[in-house]
Structure 1
Amino acid sequence: MDQQRLDALETALSNELKEREFYLEHAARTRNPLGRTMFTRIADEELEHYQRLRELQKKWQQNEKWPQDIPLVVAGSNLQETMHGFLAREKFEEAGDQDDLEAIRTAIEFEQNGVAFYEKMRAAVSDPREKDFFALMAGIEGQHLKSLLLTEAFFLDPAQWYQEYEHSGLDGA
């Protein structure tokens, strides 16, 4: 059993919990309904990642090798759909406040670091199952990153966001 890889997995577990706590804290703090929705959804996804990584860690420690029976299934992120659906239902143009923007920017940094971490893990292993698992995790963190960047754009300028991402505009009528 490679202790360095297990230590990296422990780091991933710790990061997923810290990020979840951060997202829950900001979901409770923000007055912005979109911010609350996005932070809550990401917190739920981080918990699912933690649970999957914890299961992997337990089996890896028991077997002293990468488990044969860990399915490469982690719930995908549908944050962009969540955001677009929310805004289609709620149509509001309230920009985020400074605290919301700071929280989103901190979250963006978390997710950038998460992508880099899982890509580094993927590059460091040779087992194709390990590579696939870490590529999957990097991809999900990348989806979080894209969604947070969209949320940041909305918080900065809701009217511009609607024009760019909802493709609304004048049709000459």
Structure 2
Amino acid sequence: MDKRMNALAFALENEEKEREFYLAQARKTRNMAGKNMFKQIADEEKEHYEMLKKLHAKWVEKKKWPATIPLKVQPSSAGSVLQGMSGKKSARITGTEDELKAVRTAIDFEARGVALYSKLAKQCTDAKEVAFFDMLAQVERQHLLSLKDTEEFLVDPATWYQHMERSGLDGA
């Protein structure tokens, strides 16, 4: 249990640091798609942090997995951020090098989050614990995919829009 408790404490700290990073990047980023993506993920990381904080406190108090903490989070809506920007001129600005660096740093954060929560799930024997950490790994994976999509968007918005709109010469 100590290993999992330490990992949970690390995850708590990590969620808080990630949220601070995302909020800082949302303030700096001029591209509206990037700005909105960072804001959305920051909000979702706050929800994860609050849930992990409650879980950690109860686990420390009871010395076992708490039965009273709701172990669900809202599904990530980060993936819909770029789609919501479709057609807006402010979103068609190619990202700056700093914005791309921030997105790539965020991709690294989320990849490490997926790995951490997947590892925690594998270390657990209790079905509730496994399901909880699998759920967190899945949400982090959604963030990861959304950020990779954002990276592609910032590099080449026109091509991203073509892929999104599935334009092309199908059947030609």
TM-score range, shorter chain: over 0.9
For residue 56 of structure 1, what is the aligned residue in structure 2?
Answer: 55
Q: Partner residue of 2:128? A: 129
Q: Contact 2:121–2:133 (CA<8 Å) still a contact in 1?
A: yes
**In 2 relative to 1, CA 144–21 (structure 1 residues): closer, same or farther, beyond 3 Å?**
same
The Cα of 1:68 is off from its aligned counterpart by: 1.1
Does residue 73 in structure 1 map to residue 72 in structure 2?
A: yes
* CA deviation vs aligned residue, 1:27-75 (integer Å, no higher than 9, x gap): 0011111111000111111010000000101111111100112222111
* Structure 1 position 103 matched with structure 2 position 102: yes
Check if 1:116 corresponds to 2:115: yes
The offset of 1:170, in angstroms, is: 6.5
- Following TM superposition, by how much is the alpha carbon of 1:6 offset from its aligned partner in structure 2, in angstroms? 0.9
- Matched residue SS, 2:72: coil
- CA distance in 2 between counterparts of 1:42 and 1:87 reads 19
Q: Distance in 1 between matches of 2:56 and 2:134?
A: 17
* Structure 2 counterpart of 1:13: 12
How many residues align? The count is 170
Q: Alignment identity in percent?
A: 49
Partner Cα separation in structure 1 for residue 153 and residue 112 of structure 2: 22
Deviation at 1:168, TM superposition (A): 3.0
Counterpart in 2 of 1:145? 144
1:157 aligned onto 2:156:
yes
- Asked if the contact 2:33–2:81 (Cα under 8 Å) also holds between the matched residues in 1, the reply is no
Query: In 1, Cα distance between the equivalents of 2:30 and 2:92?
Result: 13
Matched residue type, 2:111 = Q
The aligned amino acid for 2:65 is W
> 1:169, CA displacement in angstroms?
4.2
TM, length-normalised to structure 2: 0.94
Unaligned runs of 5+ in 2: none
Letter in 2 for 1:40: K
What RMSD over aligned residues (CA atoms) do the two structures have, in Å? 1.5
Distance 2:2 2:79 in 1: 37
Aligned counterparts of 1:93 and 1:9: Cα–Cα separation in 2? 39
Question: In 2, Cα distance between the equivalents of 1:155 and 1:82?
Answer: 13
Query: What is the one-letter code of the residue matched to 2:162?
Result: Q
CA distance in structure 2 between the partners assigned to 1:110 and 1:165 by the alignment: 25
Question: Residues of 2 paired with 1:158 and 1:146: CA distance?
Answer: 17
Give distance in 1, aligned partners of 2:69 and 2:130.
13
User: Aligned residue for 2:29?
Assistant: 30
